[in-house]
Structure 1
């Protein structure tokens, strides 16, 4: 049974809490984001809260409602600031957490069967994706967060729409390491694949972004979302393995049936050695090149 993509961010929370070996991968960045989150929350309450409340009161909004709405706005603004800070910090640490999750999940074989990339190409790709493209992607995510911030003024529906819009780039950012380093994709191929599967990416991303908007707790959810992304990939990988094994089994059964049918229809000759030679030749031709070769995930799959 295939799990819904939207459940993986939640699965990531429980998996992260149940595997202490993953905590060490996030200890340093978590302390940094925790300190930054507390500072941003305090500053928002000290400076932005009265500023927004007085602005609403001057716009003839009831004082009690102005302060209530301002508190909600401040919490969202602090969460968005934390997300932006995390988006800048995460490329440095998320790959290590992603890989550690795969190994904790028992998927060490993925590191052996991944597409081998030429050393020079990998170096250039690492420079391009790690220092240029990832930061461009981060800036794009920040820009989308800023542009969709006014949607939060609409209760519930506006926040849900903002999460949906931000979901696709957020999910792509969580999986870009896998596309480049495991599947050997170029950046353009990764983007094309992400867009072709945008419904699944948005389903995952909308929940992930919603969790990252929860004040203070988002400092943990930002990391558990990466764990959830790794769990998604691990499940897809195992499902692909089962499908390939099933195809191989069916192919072997078909080949065996073909060889058996040919043996029954073959007329015996006076020389048994000749019969054996003919049958062996036929069998080798039938089986030659029939086994599908797989050195990782298919280019159009996971």
Structure 2
């Protein structure tokens, strides 16, 4: 396997070379745009008059009441759009993760996938729910704010800030796989991520650094998902090879024992067999 820190970059290259994955990223933006237009129209039709009249009743000048109400409506519509996009984002990120695995030829991973209902698919685990998604987002924002002063230190400060934020970022990208493919609970997923925090931080430091780049972060937040899927796919194939190797060694050892029943017991003989 390649080092964990290379997978965010590998995700960019893989995403660019596989246009079929682009649809998963375009849909949430189009849906958010449609929702934004609808929310803006409805806000101007219903919220604007209500707010303006409420301010006028409160003895606010008419011109000021309508001006303030228009500003409020625009802000409210923007907030609605952000909330809508934040709800859509994890759902389509999970879909992109799955599509990447399938494009890698790893459809066999889905045969043992944990059977869950639609609610769990939308909420990334019934045990976590939307609350977990929001908690992860809030935790990432909080840590970004706390570590923001580190960026004042050129290069080194930015690296340290990205490294600190990297663990939770990487765990967020792996949560879908842990819950729906491995059958982990949220606490199991968190414990596993903490035991492998070095690998998670190595992946996350590059992923977070890419998402700090203005404008391009709108693309990198998707390519990091692709990179996480490639990382998981490589680990899955590595485990398959190790299991197959152990099975071959076990079969060969059994055949040798059958052919030579007088060989030493397992305590003396099996450990020294090399086939």
TM-score (norm 2): 0.71
Q: Which residue of 1 aligns with 2:68?
A: none
Q: Deviations over 1:217-273 (max 9, x none)?
A: 1111110000000000000000100100000000000010111112x89xxxxxxxx
2:154 counterpart of 1:155: yes
Cα distance, 1:130 vs structure 2: 3.7
Gaps of 5+ in 2: 34-82, 264-275
Q: Deviations over 1:167-198 (max 9, x none)?
A: 00000000000000000000000000000000
Note closer, same or farther for the CA distance 1:233–1:99 as it changes in structure 2 (3 Å cut): same
Output aligned runs, 1:1-302, within 5 Å. Answer: 2-30=1-29, 90-114=89-113, 116-117=114-115, 126-262=125-261
Cα distance, 1:89 vs structure 2: 5.3
Larger Rg: 1
Note closer, same or farther for the CA distance 1:122–1:218 as it changes in structure 2 (3 Å cut): closer
Cα distance, 1:92 vs structure 2: 2.8
Distance in 1 (alpha carbons) for counterparts of 2:18 and 2:155: 33
**Contact 2:136–2:172 at 8 Å: present in 1 too?**
yes
Q: Deviations over 1:147-180 (max 9, x none)?
A: 1111112221111111011000000000000000
**Contact 1:88–1:138 at 8 Å: present in 2 too?**
no
Note closer, same or farther for the CA distance 1:86–1:141 as it changes in structure 2 (3 Å cut): farther
User: Over the residues paired in the alignment, what is the CA RMSD in angstroms?
Assistant: 2.8
Note closer, same or farther for the CA distance 1:31–1:208 as it changes in structure 2 (3 Å cut): farther
Cα distance, 1:12 vs structure 2: 0.2
TM-score (norm 1): 0.65
Residue correspondences, number? 214
**Contact 1:30–1:219 at 8 Å: present in 2 too?**
no
SS at match of 2:139: helix
